[in-house]
Amino acid sequence: MSKLSRRDAIIGLAGLAPTLWLPACQPPPQPPAAGAPPLRPTKGSEATVVQRIVSRATTDGRGATLQRVFPAPGLPNLDPFVLLDDFDVRVPAGFPDHPHR
């Protein structure tokens, strides 16, 4: 039995990537043909809400108000560099330099 090379392992995993990383990115189902029975959802195919998160009002820059959904204290397992904000800038006044520029 030959040893699996790193290259062969990576190529093999790359072939699985679309099915592992993008399970929800599937083309929409085609409409049923004329006279076909209507489609019914299968058991467990509908999404359910498991948690509702209330956004927090905060500010950023000068004159920008926002509603921040995460990061939040109630979601400790999310990456702190991922933000979900709803911005509202009534009077644009600019933002300070960003530390990652």
pLDDT tens digit sequence for 4-27: 777 777 776 666 555 554 445 555
Judge contact between 67 and 56, C-beta under 8 A: yes
Residue 80 has which token pair? 């702190």
Task: Please tell me the predicted confidence (pLDDT) of residue 54.
Answer: 81
Inside any domain, residue 67: yes
Inside any domain, residue 60: yes
pTM: 0.38
Inside any domain, residue 39: no
* Cα–Cα distance for residue pair 71/80, rounded to 1 Å: 6
* Cα–Cα distance for residue pair 89/64, rounded to 1 Å: 5
* Cα–Cα distance for residue pair 85/93, rounded to 1 Å: 18
Inside any domain, residue 62: yes
How many domains, in total, are found in the chain?
1
Residue-number span of the structural domain to which 70 is assigned: 53-94
Query: What is the average pLDDT value for the chain, to the nearest integer?
Result: 70
Inside any domain, residue 63: yes
The arrangement of strands across the sheet holding 84-89 comes to: 56-60, 64-70, 84-89
Inside any domain, residue 90: yes
